[in-house]
C-alpha cells in the first residue's frame, strides 16, 4: 500500500511540473449594417400611339426615342417614355441591374404583340451616389400586320432587379 501511495505521489509531481504556461488575449467584434439597395418604378414603358399598317418593330430607347422598322408608322398622340426607376442604397457601393430576359406578350383581348430586347442606360460600373440614381429601360415591340386597334398591356408586368456587387 505504501508503494502505491508513493507511486501516486511521484505521478502527481510529474504532471504538476509539465504544465504549459498560458496567455490570454481579448478582442472585440463589430459589424456595419449598410442601407439596403432598393428600386422604385417612377415611370412605365410607353410606346405611345402607332399605326400598325403591315407590321414591323418599334424600338424605344432608354432615352425615350422611338424608331421603326418595317411598315409600322409612329403617329401623334400619347406619350412615348422609357420605363424609369429610382435606385437607392448605400452611397459609394456598386450595383448591377438584371433586365427581363424573355419575350413577353402585350394583349388586348385575344390580340397580342411581343415585346423583346430590353435595354438600359445602366453601365456596369454604376456607383450609388448620395441619395438616389435613376436608370431607364427601353425595349422593342413587334407589331403584327393589321394589328387590331386598341390598348395593349402586359397584365403581369416586367421585373427588373438590382443587387450590390
For 48-57, the pLDDT digits (tens) are: 999 999 999 9
Three-class SS of residue 14?
helix
CB 86 within 8 Å of CB 134: yes
Which pTM was predicted? 0.80
Q: What is the DSSP letter of 19?
A: P
Question: What fold, for 35-164?
Answer: Immunoglobulin-like (2.60.40)
| Segments making up each domain of the chain, as ranges | 35-164
With bands split at pLDDT 50, 70 and 90, how would you rate the model's confidence at 20? confident
Alpha carbons within 13 angstroms on the beta-carbon side of residue 76 total 0
CA 82 to centroid of chain Cα atoms: 17
Amino acid at each position: 500500500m505504501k508503494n502505491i501511495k508513493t507511486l501516486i505521489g511521484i505521478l502527481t509531481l510529474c504532471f504538476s511540473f509539465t504544465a504549459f504556461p498560458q496567455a490570454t488575449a481579448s478582442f472585440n467584434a463589430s459589424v456595419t449594417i449598410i442601407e439596403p439597395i432598393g428600386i422604385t418604378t417612377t415611370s412605365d414603358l410607353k410606346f405611345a400611339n402607332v399605326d400598325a399598317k403591315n407590321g414591323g418593330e418599334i424600338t424605344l430607347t432608354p432615352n425615350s426615342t422611338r424608331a421603326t422598322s418595317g411598315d409600322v408608322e409612329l403617329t401623334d398622340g400619347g406619350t412615348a417614355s422609357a420605363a424609369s426607376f429610382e435606385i437607392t442604397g448605400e452611397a459609394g457601393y456598386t450595383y448591377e441591374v438584371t433586365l427581363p430576359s424573355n419575350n413577353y406578350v402585350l394583349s388586348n383581348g385575344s390580340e397580342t404583340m411581343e415585346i423583346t430586347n430590353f435595354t438600359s442606360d445602366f453601365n456596369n460600373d454604376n456607383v450609388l451616389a448620395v441619395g438616389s440614381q435613376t436608370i431607364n429601360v427601353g425595349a422593342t415591340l413587334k407589331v403584327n400586320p393589321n394589328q387590331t386597334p386598341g390598348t395593349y398591356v402586359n397584365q403581369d408586368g416586367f421585373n427588373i432587379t438590382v443587387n450590390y456587387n
